[in-house]
Structure 1
């Protein structure tokens, strides 16, 4: 069942006890529920915009570019500032772009069939710009499974790069006579919830290290979490602890972040296999949950180069994450 809204086309998915709603604007996860219980903080996509980047797809960089500028392979670029309080460029270029619905497997309309598909694929073309002179083709696939829950896969392909035709017109760096690969990172922005205040929940994050930030939310150095209130490895009550930091030192294979509490003391679990995760205690949403953002690179990677992906013309990168509820 699809219909238009303030957030673009809305697509409802269902499989077993799970149901989800996806908005075309930003390829956004509007809600995810199991047996009527919210696994992420929902919003009313027919009447409201999401708060604090709820559910958005973050491409071609997650988190922040400090001071809204970056130097990549010797070329300087300016990026529009969308976080005036820090002066940063936040969460990439596609959070408010209107993706097209290109595939809805299972919605065949047969008599007696479930009218809700179990999966949908959305697609977007991002043209080259002064801020980012590479062109990307992006798909985001949301798939529900009655047992496995929600799996989301974001695939980006670099389809070209603009070169500088004259002084004063920015382009991709030229290396060995050809445009350099695109700098690239990807993430997502769901807020896990148990429908009770975050302070009453137990949070588990299997990360050994935390990235501290300065007053402008720019990286200020890594440290070990051992013996600090940033150590969530064993799982503990959140209480009044606040965090808005990137964590690393994660297991090399799929890792899991778990939020437990509320009705039945169940857990919502998120898994991914990337080296970073941003954990934010959702003060902008009244601490009703916690943002868990698996990231391929840390904040400001466009400047530091740390864990930055170089996406050559014609090359694709895929990133997947999964979310489910445990009884």
Structure 2
């Protein structure tokens, strides 16, 4: 078992995974073109055991209130997996599996597994969260940073999707609980897609990537010049409080996303 970077290849696609840096996808190249923003904080990282912000870093489980570190004051954001050192369980030329054991300050014991599977025209990521004991609420998802432009002098990426609703965002960047019609971007917003996440990213004259997931929630963030984010996840921001999904001894929390690309 190792935490060294793992590189997968299929056709003209190459993916690099950095288990020692939050098990993030640190690189995705298609025909030598890098799709993900480079840098220690970027690439595509798993959000686990929660996604987005938790209000004031607090969530309730039964009669207990748990306080998470405020790493994005006044809230806690994106879970602990992205900052953890994961272990490579197995790897072949096109597939790899990685594990991470939940520890303090998360109040429950459990294991997270991420599977990475590369095909010639697609990348599939899967997350599973298991408990070693008590049931607990959790979320899982991904936070990719797609480069806004992928070629010198190339056009900016275009984002196309058709959500059923948008979660109204309050001044604290958390959903208010009200669902509204989708508004024009720029966004740092959560959208509902009950039939599953389906977002198309197009770089005119170069590539298009369809981001799909069986999950019903996606956060789209395009307020930065360098990159845009399309984040499939198992619940909305602050979902540990508003839409908890339980990890139980007989039912882990599982999520997946597939990115499929083609040349334009």
Q: TM-score, normalization: structure 2?
A: 0.90
Q: Is 2:221 the counterpart of 1:280?
A: yes
Alignment of 1:85-104 (within 5 A): 87-104=74-91
Give the Å deviation of 1:270: 1.0
**What residue is the counterpart of 1:34 in the other structure?**
30
Q: Is the 8 A contact 1:68 1:88 kept in 2?
A: yes
Q: Of the candidates 86, 90, 96, which is equivalent to residue 120 of structure 1?
A: 96
More strand per residue: 2
Match of 2:241 in 1: 303
| 1:265 shift after superposition | 4.4
CA–CA distance in structure 2, aligned partners of residues 137 and 256 of structure 1: 28
Count residues with an aligned counterpart.
260
Shift of 1:216: 2.0
Residue 190 of structure 2 corresponds to residue 246 of structure 1: yes
CA separation of 1:243 and 1:289: change in aligned 2, threshold 3 A: same
Larger Rg: 1
Counterpart for residue 202 of structure 2: 260
1:143 aligns with 2:117: yes
| Structure 1 stretches of at least 4 aligned residues deviating more than 4 Å after TM superposition | 196-199
In structure 2, do the counterparts of structure 1 residues 289 and 210 end up closer, same or farther at CA, with 3 Å as the change threshold?
same
The answer to whether structure 1 residue 66 and structure 2 residue 4 are counterparts is no
Question: Any idea what the Cα deviations from partners look like across 1:235-261, whole Å, max 9, x if unmatched?
Answer: xxxxxx42101111x142x44211112
TM superposition score normalised by structure 1: 0.74
**Partner Cα distance (1:251, 1:219) in 2:** 17
Partner of 1:190: 144
Instruction: Name 1:160's counterpart in structure 2.
Output: 133
What residue number does 1:109 align with? none
- Structure 2 residue ranges without an equivalent (≥5): none
Shift of 1:132: 3.4
On the 8 A contact 1:198/1:288 being kept in 2, the answer is: no
User: In 1, Cα distance between the equivalents of 2:154 and 2:79?
Assistant: 27
Q: For residues 81 and 186 of structure 1, what CA distance do their matches in structure 2 show?
A: 19
Q: How does 1:216-227 map to 2 (within 5 A)?
A: 216-225=172-181
Q: 1:119 to 1:78 in 2, by over 3 A?
A: same
1:135 touches 1:158 (CA, 8 Å); kept in 2?
Answer: yes
Change in 2 beyond 3 A, CA 1:301/1:201:
same
Q: 1:288 to 1:309 in 2, by over 3 A?
A: same
